[in-house]
């Protein structure tokens, strides 16, 4: 029988994961929708800067504030820089391709993470079914790259650079995960890891905004609502909900369910931005997600984990950087 700490997915978990993925899936869409009033780079800088006090308050409330200045600060700065680079690439890419493409291509990250851990940790060697998933994912990306974005703001034939920036952001996300896994951050409180990621992103994106001359912004009602949504709902409340689900349910199953996020991004992009996606992109995206599922939860395909064996608590590196 599964432990109470790590229960199988039930209807409640499924419904909550649908809600979480819908929230995460709207990020790139809202970012793109308000980019004419405020550049994506400065939007994201403000988002992470405004979220920092919430995370710091959470650390103080949990008695974890001292961990912020402990041994984790050096790898924390590295992880923070990589996390900031991830969102800088997203901010640059969202103006060059559709939100649907960006929101899908960043999900190549688990593949790069698996390859990185395969090369650095002996016990993280990929199984045969996972190698199959890696191949499937890269085939999916190759097929998706042949599809062009079709939106009012992106010219057909001009989206390839934005697509590659989306893939690069996924690589940066994976590098962040590998750094966390290989350093003391993997054993640090969640609030510590999250704090350094937010701090690094705030600094990197603020500097990038200054260099690009994108510090001017119009605080329209849409922008204000967007920032409130990104800070309170996405970066804080949705993560608290995610962590609460991780404490109760099997992490591998939740991770697979989290791949509903790109589907919501595609749907929201079509509904709110007038984006269209062709059959090749949809087919490639499905192959990508299937490959990621095989890499992330091989036990779903290989029945080697007995129902009586409880899953260990996920490490910080297994908690995705969706903030």
Q: Model confidence over 285-313: pLDDT tens digits?
A: 999 999 998 998 776 655 444 444 455 55
pLDDT-above-70 percentage for the chain: 87
Any idea what DSSP says for residue 312?
P
Q: How far is CA 110 from CA 174, 252, 322, in A?
A: 6, 12, 13
Paired strand residues for 249: 7
- pLDDT band, very low/low/confident/very high, at 314 (cuts 50, 70, 90): low
Distance CA 88, CA 94 (A): 10
Distance CA 95, CA 205 (A): 16
Give the Cβ contact number of residue 111 at 10 Å: 26
Does residue 256 carry a pLDDT above 90? no
Q: Which two tokens stand for residue 185?
A: 């951050």
Does residue 229 carry a pLDDT above 70? yes
- pLDDT band, very low/low/confident/very high, at 317 (cuts 50, 70, 90): low
Any idea what DSSP says for residue 36?
T
Residue 249's φ and ψ, nearest 5 degrees, are -110, 165
pTM of this structure: 0.88
Q: Which two tokens stand for residue 304?
A: 């080697």
Distance CA 13, CA 20 (A): 10
Distance CA 62, CA 67 (A): 11
What average pLDDT does range 10-21 have in this prediction? 93
Does residue 12 carry a pLDDT above 60? yes
Q: How far is CA 175 from CA 34, 86, 179, 244, in A?
A: 29, 9, 6, 25
- pLDDT band, very low/low/confident/very high, at 247 (cuts 50, 70, 90): confident
What is the per-residue pLDDT for 4?
A: 47
Mean pLDDT score of the chain: 86
Least trusted range by pLDDT, from 13-17, 128-132, 246-250, 261-265:
246-250
């Amino acid at each position: 029988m599964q432990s109470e700490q790590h229960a199988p997915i039930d209807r409640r978990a499924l419904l909550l994961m649908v809600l979480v993925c819908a929230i995460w899936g709207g990020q790139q869409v809202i970012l793109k929708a308000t980019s004419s009033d405020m550049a994506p780079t400065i939007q994201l800088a403000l988002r992470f800067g405004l979220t920092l006090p919430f995370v710091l308050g959470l650390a103080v409330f949990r008695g974890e504030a001292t961990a912020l200045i402990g041994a984790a600060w050096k790898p924390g700065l590295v992880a923070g820089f990589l996390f900031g680079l991830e969102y800088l690439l997203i901010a640059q890419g969202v103006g060059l391709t559709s939100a649907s493409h960006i929101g899908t291509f960043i999900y190549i990250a688990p593949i790069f993470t698996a390859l990185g851990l395969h090369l650095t940790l002996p016990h993280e060697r990929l199984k045969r079914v996972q190698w199959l998933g890696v191949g499937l994912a890269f085939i999916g990306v190759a097929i998706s790259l042949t599809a062009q974005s079709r939106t009012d703001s992106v010219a057909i034939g001009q989206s390839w650079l934005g697509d590659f920036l989306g893939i690069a952001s996924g690589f940066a996300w994976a590098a962040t995960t590998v750094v966390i896994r290989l350093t003391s951050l993997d054993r640090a409180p969640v609030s510590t890891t999250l704090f350094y990621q937010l701090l690094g992103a705030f600094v990197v994106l603020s500097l990038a905004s200054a260099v690009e001359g994108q510090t001017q912004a119009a605080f329209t009602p849409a922008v204000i609502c967007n920032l409130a949504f990104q800070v309170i709902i996405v970066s804080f409340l949705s993560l608290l909900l995610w962590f609460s689900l991780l404490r109760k349910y099997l992490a591998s199953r939740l991770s697979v369910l989290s791949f509903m996020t790109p589907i919501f991004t595609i749907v929201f992009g079509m509904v709110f931005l007038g984006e269209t996606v062709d059959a090749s992109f949809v087919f490639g995206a499905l192959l990508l997600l299937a490959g990621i599922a095989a890499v992330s939860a091989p036990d779903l395909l290989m029945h080697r984990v007995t129902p009586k064996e409880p899953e260990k608590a996920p490490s910080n590196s297994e908690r995705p950087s969706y903030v």
